[in-house]
Amino acid sequence: MKIVVLVKYVPDIEIGYEFTGQNTLDRSGAGLLSQLDEHPLEEARQLAEALDDVEVIALTLGPDDADEAVRRALQMGADAAFHVSDPAVAGSDAGATALVLAKAITHIGDVDLILTGAESADSGTRLVPVKLAALLGIPALTGASSLAVQPGGGAVTIERDEDAATLTLSAPLPALVSVTDKANEPAYPSAKAVMLARRKPVDELDLADLGVDASLVGAGAARVAVGSVTPNPPRAGGRKIPADGPDAIGQFIGLLREAGLV
Amino acid sequence: MWYALPVIGLLATVVGWSLLAWRVTSYVRGFRAGAAELPGSRTARPGARTATMLREFLAHTRLRRKPLVAVAHWLTMLSFLVLVLTLAQATGQLFSPSFELPVIGHFAPYAWLTEFFAWAGLLGILVLIAVRLVASRASLGRGSRFFGSHQWRARYVEATILLVCVAVLWLRGLEAALSERGAESASAELLFPSTAWIGSLYGGVTDAALDGWIGCLALFKILVSYAWMVVVSLTPTMGVAWHRFLAFPNLWFAKRPDGAPALGGLEPLVVGGQAVDLNDPATPDDVYEHLGVGYAAELTWRDLLSLTTCTECGRCQEVCPAWATGKALSPKLLVGALRDHAWAEWPVGSMGDAATPLVGGDAPWAVSPEALWACTTCGACTAICPVGVEHVDHVIDLRRRQVLGEAEFPAELGGAFRNLERRQNPWGLPGKKRLDWTAGLDFDVPVLGETVASLAEVDYLYWVGCAGAFDDRGQATARAFAELLHRAGVSFAVLGTAECCTGDPARRAGNESLFGDLAAGNVEVLNQAGATKIVVTCAHCFNSLAGEYGPFGGHYEVVHHTELLADLVEAGRLTPGDLPDEPLDAHGRSVKPSVTYQDPCYLGRHNGKYAAPRRVLGAIGNLELTEMASAGPNSVCCGAGGGRMWLEETEGTRLNQRRADQAAATGAGTIATACPFCAVMLGDAVAADSGSGTQVKDVAQLLLASIAGEGTP
């Protein structure tokens, strides 16, 4: 069984991010593998451990720096990786991204299962997985909090936790599943896994290799335009009552009273 | 029938010595089968090693906290050496009751020595028996240092020594009686000064009966001694008996030739006697199967020797803060488990697939993960061990395997590792905020590469540390220290955003790979900056920068901020004043500011620095320093070391609360410390007790407050 895990190299947005003049995210700083993508990687690793003959391939579309994400994916259990990188891709919208990824999946060939994170940590549209499945003509099961592949590999079953109920969904393979952070606790790679990752093959591809017309991708081909980006003002600092100051508790309760909370 | 005496005696002699020889051989084979140590690490400076061994043998420095036991043990120990010849004497007496050792048999000083040490040994062992009985009484439960020790093994050894001493004295009394009846009666007073009175009790027995008494008692003594030999030979894990031999080589092969405890900087990861570089692609694959210690076969020969030497005296257990707060970890039980595991799979490494993992396995000797991760690496156990067991290194070796090999460790630690990887600090805060602590200072902190072009322009590089950069209390300390440097006219610069975690939390948690990345990165930055003199406000940073960066090419003169401050005060460049008085007491009298000082483990026990912070505090005019019951080398951990800062503490009571209570017992209104981790832990503990009013301050903050006269900052 061949599993492709989509991974994305993102800016470390948890510690803050900035925008460029072209209304895109400033990606010049240090980035990392999107934390949300660790969950599908871990899911694939567990499937490979539980089932026979599973090959896990990490696939990323991103700049040269995205090597970092590829390396991490290989440390986390992927057997091989494909890294699609082309200057023409910069500024692509979700549709173009899905198009390139679909071509890459076709290039890899005989893929049974595509795993993705619930969303990308930076743009967070959640569009790419479904668009990709549509382009490939395969079913998409989104938001999996758990995942099981039938023995023999004929179908995949997921559970999706919704507010009102938990759904059990299944689809025949090949299929695409997006995995949430509830699905697992990603394992920290051992030193041996890190060492072995250095030897795993990484295929570098560009648009020409995939036969994608460059005019269909990039900022120019985006069908959705970002009109403007206005960063939210930083949150006003809350009031700080030093714990070792005079009557800290009294002040705190006073504030709660003022706010009508007690 | 008297022929039976020598026959039985000689049979016991042959069995006893044969088994002992077999066991000694098997020990040597067993130890030699252990994994290799880093070449030279256990043999360099043989002169210092010999001096250390003799010092611990004759001066018992590590027993100083129990002086009665020290004296009793010293006498008992020497009596074993002196009285060994009485075994030969007794063997001769099986053949002839009047047998005397050649040459020295009639030598009065030998006789006096024998009698003195027979009485001394008797007295010593009675004291030790009493101490064990009192210290292991059931009502103490876990509070006993002997909890979990093999008590019957110890009692058997004690009984043997007691019986041997009694037999020696009794026999001498009978010998005195015998010599009274012979031609040499005049020498009885001289040769049996303290035992002749025993002989006088036998005035009425016949000569034949006296001979019979001597023969039987000699046989009894011999059987007691050889029974001991048989028992200990068949029980290789009986350190309480074997330490009398193994402690000598174990002390000689100590990690620190000069006898300092095996603390401070850790050794690099070693596999097969070679330091391992996990970032070097040329490192052979099979090395990755043996990172750290996961199986008994991976214990080094010194590990095996050290584990086997453990006497189960429980001093380590008694001082372990994890054990004292109800955790699964006891250093003694951990060592005992490893030892039993190793000898159960003897000869080490021969078990192949049948071998079981040392941590978390099903074997009855397996170390539980809870125990392994409860260790704060405070080093109290290692510092107090009289026979030189290196507990902290054992813990680190086991953790290294769990992290690097098995990727099995508490989940919270994964978060800290990821933070260190991504943002180079365990808090996971953005590196660009590293200079936030400087806000509010009325001078500009010089930053290398911005306001300072080269470190050659300044006296010191101030290594702020992640706590100084990101933690509220740490920031306050950093500001106070920078202000003091500024006032004293000491020029300095900081690295600013180029600074990263030293890697201490990763290394103590077993993540040698991550530590290596951080250390190599820091050394590159420091060397590029031309750093030579570095001052740090964090005891953990101090330990790494001063003691662990050598193998990465980082050699610096590192001083702790309290050392620099003490020098500045004594040189007159800083003039401490008074701190504000505490609130008036019940009688309306003024109360001087009372302070107690918490020795950070990584400044004190790990690096031997106890004086500098006290010199600073002592210079503050009206400050009353009250030491805690356990201070200095006996100080108790706050709970943050060994990566525990980043782990939940769910088992038992909290370490920081216990230490804060000990501080409160001094009546001091302020706990001074010299490490941001201690400040966080103790600060949290006193904050949890809102009525206490105790405050936690770094030494630098108190010094600045006394100078500024503006109250405590």
pLDDT at position B184: 58
Contact assessment for residue B703 and residue B713, using Cβ atoms and an 8 Å cutoff = no
Our CA angle for B44, B45, B49, nearest 5°, is 105
Q: Which of B409, B429, B462 is the last residue before a domain boundary?
A: B409
In angstroms, the first-to-last Cα distance of chain B is 91
Q: If we measure between CA atoms, which residue out of B474, B312, B437 comes closest to residue B387?
A: B312
The kind and range of the H/E element at B173 are helix B151-181
Contact assessment for residue B427 and residue B466, using Cβ atoms and an 8 Å cutoff = yes
With CA atoms as reference, the chain A residue closest to B291 would be: A191
Three-state DSSP at B31 gives: helix
Q: Which of A15, A243, A244 sits opposite B430 (nearest CB)?
A: A15
Cα–Cα distance measured from residue B655 to residue B133, given in angstroms and rounded to the nearest whole number: 29
Contacts 24+ apart (CB under 8 A), B433-436: B433/B469, B433/B470, B434/B464, B434/B469, B434/B470, B434/B496, B434/B497, B434/B499, B435/B469, B435/B494, B435/B496, B435/B497, B436/B469, B436/B470, B436/B475
- Any chain A CB within 8 A of the CB of B430? yes
Read off the pLDDT of residues B613-648 as tens digits, 9 standing for 90 and up.
999 999 998 999 999 999 999 999 999 999 999 999
| B583 against B631, higher pLDDT | B631
Report DSSP state, residue A245: S
pLDDT at position A12: 84
C-alpha torsion angle, residues A226, A228, A231, A233 (rounded to 10): -140
Cα–Cα distance measured from residue B20 to residue B583, given in angstroms and rounded to the nearest whole number: 69
Cβ of A244 within 8 Å of Cβ of B429? The answer is no
The kind and range of the H/E element at A104 are helix A94-108
Cβ neighbors of B334 (< 8 A, separation 6 or more) are B367, B371, B372, B391, B394, B395
Assess whether B512 and B397 both reside in one domain. no
| A43 against A260, higher pLDDT | A43
What average pLDDT does the structure give for chain B? 94
Q: If we measure between CA atoms, which residue out of B511, B507, B677 comes closest to residue B601?
A: B677
Cβ of B417 within 8 Å of Cβ of A190? The answer is no
The mean pLDDT of A210-214, rounded to a whole number, is: 94
Cα–Cα distance measured from residue A112 to residue B435, given in angstroms and rounded to the nearest whole number: 50
pLDDT at residue B711 is higher than 50: no
Q: Which of A15, A187, A191 sits opposite B278 (nearest CB)?
A: A191
Q: Which of residues 681-700 of B touch A (CB under 8 A)?
A: 687, 690, 695
This complex has an ipTM of 0.84
- Residue B214: inside a domain, yes or no? yes
DSSP character string of B120-157: HHHHHHHHHHHHHHHHT-GGGGGGSTTTTS-HHHHHHH
Q: Could you tell me whether strands A55-61 and A2-7 are parallel, antiparallel, or unpaired per DSSP bridges?
A: parallel
Beta bridge partners of B597: B672
Cα–Cα distance measured from residue B474 to residue B486, given in angstroms and rounded to the nearest whole number: 18
The mean pLDDT of B561-567, rounded to a whole number, is: 98
Assess whether B109 and B55 both reside in one domain. yes
| A259 against A215, higher pLDDT | A215
Read off the pLDDT of residues B156-200 as tens digits, 9 standing for 90 and up.
999 999 999 999 999 999 999 998 887 655 577 788 999 999 999
Task: Break chain A into its structural domains and give their ranges.
Answer: 2-221
Cα–Cα distance measured from residue B326 to residue B323, given in angstroms and rounded to the nearest whole number: 5
- Any chain B CB within 8 A of the CB of A194? yes
Cβ neighbors of B173 (< 8 A, separation 6 or more) are B192, B195, B196, B197, B198, B199, B201, B202
Tokens of B539: 């005891």
Q: In chain A, which residues have their Cβ closer than 8 Å to the Cβ of B428?
A: 14-15
With CA atoms as reference, the chain A residue closest to B683 would be: A244
Cβ of A243 within 8 Å of Cβ of B405? The answer is no
Assess whether B98 and B192 both reside in one domain. yes
Q: How far is CA B107 from the centre of its chain?
A: 44
The kind and range of the H/E element at B317 are helix B315-319
pLDDT at position B42: 96
- Residue B343: inside a domain, yes or no? yes
Q: If we measure between CA atoms, which residue out of B437, B438, B645, B497 comes closest to residue A15?
A: B497
Assess whether B171 and B320 both reside in one domain. no
Range of the domain at B83: 50-135+145-235
A83/chain B closest Cα distance in angstroms = 21
Q: Mutation target for A interface from B276, B403, B422, B424: give the one with most A CBs within 10 A.
A: B422
Beta bridge partners of B598: B673
Q: Which of residues 3-32 of A touch B (CB under 8 A)?
A: 12, 14-16, 32
Cα–Cα distance measured from residue B465 to residue B600, given in angstroms and rounded to the nearest whole number: 16
DSSP character string of A129-192: HHHHHHHHT--EEEEESEEEE-TTSSEEEEEEE-SS-EEEEEEESSEEEEE-TTS--PPPPPHH
Q: In chain B, which residues have their Cβ closer than 8 Å to the Cβ of A242?
A: none
Domain count within chain B: 4
Three-state DSSP at A231 gives: coil
- Any chain B CB within 8 A of the CB of A235? no
> To which residue do tokens 């990606």 refer?
A27
Cα–Cα distance measured from residue B200 to residue B467, given in angstroms and rounded to the nearest whole number: 77
Cα–Cα distance measured from residue B9 to residue B96, given in angstroms and rounded to the nearest whole number: 13
- Any chain A CB within 8 A of the CB of B515? no
Assess whether B467 and B382 both reside in one domain. no
Q: Which of residues 196-235 of B touch A (CB under 8 A)?
A: none
Read off the pLDDT of residues A25-51 as tens digits, 9 standing for 90 and up.
777 777 889 999 999 999 999 999 999
pLDDT at residue A148 is higher than 70: yes
Q: Mutation target for A interface from B400, B418, B696: give the one with most A CBs within 10 A.
A: B418
- Any chain B CB within 8 A of the CB of A127? no
Assess whether B482 and B349 both reside in one domain. no
pLDDT at residue B248 is higher than 90: yes
Kindly report which listed range (A209-223, A224-238, B330-344, B570-584) carries the lowest average pLDDT score.
A224-238
- Any chain B CB within 8 A of the CB of A249? yes
Tokens of B23: 């066991």
Q: How confident is the model at residue B712 (pLDDT cuts 50, 70, 90)?
A: very low
Assess whether B266 and B390 both reside in one domain. yes
Burial B452-461 (b: 16+ CB within 10 A, else e): beebeebebb
DSSP character string of A214-229: GGGSSGGG-SS-----
> To which residue do tokens 């031999």 refer?
B245
- Any chain B CB within 8 A of the CB of A234? no
Per-range mean pLDDT, top range of A112-121, A148-157, B560-569, B576-585: B560-569
The kind and range of the H/E element at B70 are helix B67-82
Rg (CA), chain B: 30
Read off the pLDDT of residues B467-509 as tens digits, 9 standing for 90 and up.
999 999 999 999 999 999 999 999 999 999 999 999 999 999 9
Assess whether B360 and B462 both reside in one domain. no
With CA atoms as reference, the chain B residue closest to A35 would be: B418
Q: Mutation target for A interface from B269, B286, B288: give the one with most A CBs within 10 A.
A: B288
Alpha-carbon separation of residue A83 from A2, A64, A89, A134, B271 (angstroms) = 17, 9, 13, 22, 36
Cα–Cα distance measured from residue B39 to residue B686, given in angstroms and rounded to the nearest whole number: 48
pLDDT at residue B692 is higher than 90: no
Cβ neighbors of B98 (< 8 A, separation 6 or more) are B178, B182
Three-state DSSP at B112 gives: helix
Q: In chain B, which residues have their Cβ closer than 8 Å to the Cβ of A187?
A: 407
Cα–Cα distance measured from residue B166 to residue B156, given in angstroms and rounded to the nearest whole number: 15
- Any chain A CB within 8 A of the CB of B411? yes
Read off the pLDDT of residues A60-92 as tens digits, 9 standing for 90 and up.
999 999 999 999 999 999 999 999 999 999 888
Q: What percent of chain B has pLDDT over 90?
A: 87
Assess whether B343 and B485 both reside in one domain. no
pLDDT at position B279: 85
Q: How many residues does chain A have?
A: 262
Read off the pLDDT of residues A117-138 as tens digits, 9 standing for 90 and up.
998 888 788 899 999 999 999 9
pLDDT at position B185: 54
Cβ neighbors of B213 (< 8 A, separation 6 or more) are B174, B202, B205
Read off the pLDDT of residues A174-184 as tens digits, 9 standing for 90 and up.
999 999 999 99
Read off the pLDDT of residues B532-554 as tens digits, 9 standing for 90 and up.
999 999 999 999 999 999 999 99
With CA atoms as reference, the chain B residue closest to A187 would be: B407
Cα–Cα distance measured from residue A178 to residue A140, given in angstroms and rounded to the nearest whole number: 8
Cβ of B278 within 8 Å of Cβ of A194? The answer is yes
Assess whether B64 and B213 both reside in one domain. yes
| A144 against B3, higher pLDDT | A144
Assess whether B76 and B192 both reside in one domain. yes
- Residue B647: inside a domain, yes or no? yes
Q: How is domain A2-221 classified at the CATH fold level?
A: Rossmann fold (3.40.50)
Assess whether B432 and B495 both reside in one domain. yes
